[in-house]
């Protein structure tokens, strides 16, 4: 009778330890996934800021009386991009030519508001190169005077 009771006790203890180990592994993998998602989202937010500033730099160095910059696409890093930034630029003001579909208004009341831009930056995380299951996407819209 005592040998049978000891065997049942050992089986119950082994099942309890196995259940606790399964829970620990599950919590550990969830923690790794959350940390990876937060890291990639933070990188996407920083890339959206950088892409917006890059667009402002490109606009300020471009001859807007000849043509305009409408879209900028950036992949980060260059070799195997994990993040993709798409920048769309919309213009307000006079003096911009060859850019009919990206001018919101050319009737600006004051000269100070001439050549104001609305920059839409969308950064998406490439799911194939990162191995994440849910998409991560950051959108940033700014109104700037280059």
What's residue 79's pLDDT? 87
Alpha-carbon distance values, 136 to 32, 114, 118 (Å): 16, 35, 23
pTM: 0.75
What's residue 127's pLDDT? 83
For the chain, the structural domain boundaries read 2-144
What's residue 102's pLDDT? 67
Residues of the chain whose pLDDT is less than 50?
none
Surface-to-core class of residue 9, CB atoms within 10 Å of its CB (0-12 exposed, 13-18 middle, 19+ buried):
exposed
Alpha-carbon distance values, 30 to 10, 26, 35, 38, 57 (Å): 30, 6, 9, 12, 41
What's residue 12's pLDDT? 92
């Amino acid at each position: 009778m005592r040998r049978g009771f000891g065997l049942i006790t050992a089986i119950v203890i082994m099942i309890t330890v196995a259940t606790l180990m399964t829970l620990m592994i599950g919590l550990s993998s969830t923690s790794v996934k959350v940390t990876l998602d937060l890291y990639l989202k933070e990188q996407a937010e920083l890339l959206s800021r950088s892409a917006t500033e890059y667009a402002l730099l490109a606009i300020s160095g471009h001859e807007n009386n000849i043509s305009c910059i409408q879209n900028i696409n950036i992949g980060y890093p260059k070799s195997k991009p994990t993040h993709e930034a798409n920048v769309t630029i919309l213009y307000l003001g006079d003096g911009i030519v060859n850019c009919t579909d990206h001018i919101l208004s050319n009737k600006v009341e004051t000269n100070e508001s001439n050549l104001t831009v609305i920059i839409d930056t969308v950064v998406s995380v490439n799911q194939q190169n990162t191995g994440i299951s849910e998409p991560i996407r950051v959108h940033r819209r700014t109104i700037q005077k280059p």
